Amino acid sequence: MGSLLEQLKQEFKEFYPEAGSPRVFFAPGRVNLIGEHTDYTGGFVMPMALDLGITMLTAPRKDGVFRLRSKSFEQPVEFSIEDLKDDSKADKKDTWGNYPKGVVIELLKLGAPVTGADILYSSNLPTGAGLSSSAAIGMATAFGLAEVAEFEVSKQELAFLCQRMENNFIGVKSGIMDQFAVGLSKENHAIFLDCTSIEYEYVPFELEDHKVVITNTAKKRGLNESRYNERREEAEEALKQIAEMKPNVKSYRDLSLDDLSLINALRYPYRERARHIVTENHRVLEAKAALEQGNLTQFGQLMLASHRSLSLDYEVTGKELDTLFQVQLEAGCYKTRMTGAGFGGCTVSLVKEDEIDQFIEYVRANYKERTGLDPEFYIAKGSGGVREIGEED
Ligand code: ADP
Ligand code: MG
């Protein structure tokens, strides 16, 4: 990365000629490998960090002013600590700057001695594609500013801080998975997270000769949020109905595959929604075991089963994701599934390096023929979580 970093430092200097030499931080994007629509019911998820992410260059200021630029957005953003209030809400005119601004507010609430900064962000992560660029910009900012201010805080605390920023300041209802994966991931590992206890475990994930290919359906985001909320409500209602039959059930975590016959007594759509959640949690546990045994084939089969359950039982795929899935199978990829909330968005596939060109060519042509849409492909490896990067990177 040497020369690229030099170039960024040069740009930083041009934007902020009077600033000192900047420190450089990197926060990865993430992809969820398995465990979809299980987070808000306190279940299991297993994401990994990607080597695509957001790089932040920052030098401190003493006057309480923050000046921000992003190479992904035209508009610079500036604000002063004096103008921030604990209960401020995102301001439309700050556009993308709301994410770092929300982070600064949360850091100040924790008592971090931040006194202003000049910042430049550069990203090779697509924004709004479901690879969690929002958690990446949040965690890069939170970690970077905390380090520069020599403020002692764990990455886990920073993950919660960024979740509060997105929930309360930006106003996005989201779980902790994204910030956790972006903050705490370890290279060559996936991260298994229990969304009830927030306990996590690193799971060895040797990609061998595979790479992670993320394919964007290129479907325009539409009424996704309302459908997402509808699923959350259906999942809650299904649990209520199950608890009426089996009173000691307080959460989906009290259910196992043995309860499927009970679940089958419910009606559509509650039966289907509950069945997905219970079987998906089980698949995450199986997927963890498969990775621990280095069994990528078994892992792939669980990815396929996860997609089918999300398509048939949870009904969050839609035409585009199902067509993409089908085309990928035809291309000979058996380690693939939708990832993210669904209704468009991306698939995640593990593809052998020397088959990637062929895979992309087949999927591009056939997906376009069937949907009229041009898919986008991102090829990635795994990565560690948020960190400072030096000259040698
Ligand atoms: P996702 O997290 O799936 O990428 P979100 O809608 O949650 O999508 O977050 C995207 C938002 O995060 C962008 O609209 C922008 O405000 C902010 N963001 C992401 N990447 C950058 C970047 N490189 N520079 C500045 N802001 C960014
Ligand atoms: Mg996001």
Ligand 1 pocket, 383 CB below 6 A? no
The mean per-residue pLDDT over the stretch 73-92 comes to 92
Whether residues 56 and 132 fall in one domain: yes
Nearest residue CA, atom 3 of ligand 1? 130
The domain tally of the chain equals: 2
Left if phi > 0, otherwise alpha if psi is -120 to 50, otherwise beta: which for 235? Answer: alpha
Whether residues 101 and 235 fall in one domain: no
Ligand nearest to the CA of 69: 1
Check: CB of residue 41 under 8 Å from CB of residue 252.
Answer: yes
The pLDDT of residue 87:
81
The pLDDT of residue 125:
95
The pLDDT of residue 262:
97
What is the per-residue pLDDT across 281-303, written as a single tens digit (0 to 9) for each? 999 999 999 999 999 999 999 99
Ligand 1 pocket, 121 CB below 6 A? yes
Whether residues 169 and 49 fall in one domain: yes
Whether residues 156 and 257 fall in one domain: no
Nearest residue CA, atom 11 of ligand 1? 134
- In angstroms, what is the span from residue 72 Cα to ligand 1's centroid? 9
- In angstroms, what is the span from residue 320 Cα to ligand 1's centroid? 23
Write out the catalytic residue numbers.
178
Distances (CA, A) of 392 to 59, 252, 389: 20, 47, 8
Ligand 1 pocket, 170 CB below 6 A? no
DSSP bridge partners of 190: 203
- In angstroms, what is the span from residue 133 Cα to ligand 2's centroid? 6
Ligand 1 pocket, 124 CB below 6 A? no
The pLDDT of residue 223:
65
What is the per-residue pLDDT across 315-358, written as a single tens digit (0 to 9) for each? 999 999 999 999 999 999 999 999 999 999 999 999 999 999 99
Ligand 1 pocket, 88 CB below 6 A? no
Q: Which CATH number is 101's domain given?
A: 3.30.230.10
The pLDDT of residue 224:
74
Whether residues 48 and 127 fall in one domain: yes
Whether residues 220 and 307 fall in one domain: yes
Higher pLDDT, 203 or 222: 203
Whether residues 343 and 288 fall in one domain: yes
pLDDT of residue 64 exceeding 80, the answer is: yes
Q: Give the residue ranges of DSSP H helices in the chain.
A: 2-15, 98-109, 133-148, 155-164, 177-184, 224-245, 260-263, 270-292, 296-312, 318-330, 356-371
Q: Which CATH number is 370's domain given?
A: 3.30.70.890
The mean per-residue pLDDT over the stretch 56-70 comes to 98
What is the per-residue pLDDT across 246-259, written as a single tens digit (0 to 9) for each? 999 999 999 999 99
Whether residues 229 and 258 fall in one domain: yes
Whether residues 229 and 185 fall in one domain: no
Whether residues 177 and 253 fall in one domain: no
pLDDT of residue 310 exceeding 70, the answer is: yes
Phi, psi of 317 (to 5 degrees): -90, -60
Residue located via tokens 């594609």: 129
The pLDDT of residue 1:
53
Whether residues 164 and 304 fall in one domain: no
The mean per-residue pLDDT over the stretch 360-387 comes to 98
Ligand 1 pocket, 70 CB below 6 A? yes
Check: CB of residue 393 under 8 Å from CB of residue 4.
Answer: no
Whether residues 196 and 215 fall in one domain: no
Ligand nearest to the CA of 224: 1
- In angstroms, what is the span from residue 289 Cα to ligand 1's centroid? 33
Task: Provide the residue range defining the domain that includes 272.
Answer: 210-380
The mean per-residue pLDDT over the stretch 13-23 comes to 97
The pLDDT of residue 128:
84
What is the per-residue pLDDT across 107-144, written as a single tens digit (0 to 9) for each? 999 999 999 999 999 999 988 888 999 999 999 999 99
pLDDT of residue 231 exceeding 70, the answer is: yes
